[in-house]
Amino acid sequence: MSLTSPGAPGPLPEGATTTPPGVVGPGELLALFRSRAHLTRADVMTLTGLSRSTVNQRIDLLQEAGLLVEREPHVVPGRGRGRPAGSFAFNVERGVLLVCDIGATAMRAAICDLSGTVLRDLPLLSDVTEGPEAVLARVDPLFSRLLESSGREAADVRGIALSVPGPVDHEQATVVSPPIMTGWDRFDVRGWFARTYDCPLLLEKDANAMAWGEYRTHYSDADTILMLKLGTGVGAGIIAGGRIHRGADGAAGDIGHTQASGDDRDSNPACRCGNSGCVEAHVGGWALMRDLTAAGRDATTVDEVVELIRTADPVAVSLARAAGRVLGVALAETVNILNPRVVVVGGQLAEAEEQVFAGLREMVYSRSLPLATRRLELHRSRLDERAGSVGLALLLADHIFDPARVDAGLGAG
> Would you say 271 or 308 has its CB closer to Zn ion?
271
Nearer to Zn ion, 147 or 207 (CB): 207
In angstroms, give the least distance from the CB of 273 to Zn ion: 3
**Minimum distance from CB of 352 to Zn ion (Å)?**
22
CB 342 within 8 A of CB 380: no
Distance separating alpha carbons of residues 95 and 409, to the nearest angstrom = 15
Q: Which is nearer to Zn ion, 278 or 360 (CB)?
A: 278
Asked whether the beta carbons of 302 and 105 are under 8 A apart, the reply is yes
Which residue lies nearer to Zn ion by CB, 213 or 233?
233
Distances (CA, A) of 346 to 24, 161, 218, 328: 39, 20, 14, 14
Output 177 or 275, the one with its CB closest to Zn ion: 275
Closest distance between Zn ion and the C-beta of residue 202, in Å?
Answer: 27
Q: Residue 273 or residue 329: which is nearer to Zn ion going by CB?
A: 273
Nearest distance, CB of residue 323 and Zn ion, angstroms? 15
Question: Where along the sequence are the contacts to Zn ion (CB under 5 A)?
Answer: 257, 271, 273, 275, 278
Distance of closest approach, residue 275 Cβ to Zn ion, in angstroms: 5
Least distance to Zn ion, CB of residue 279, Å? 8
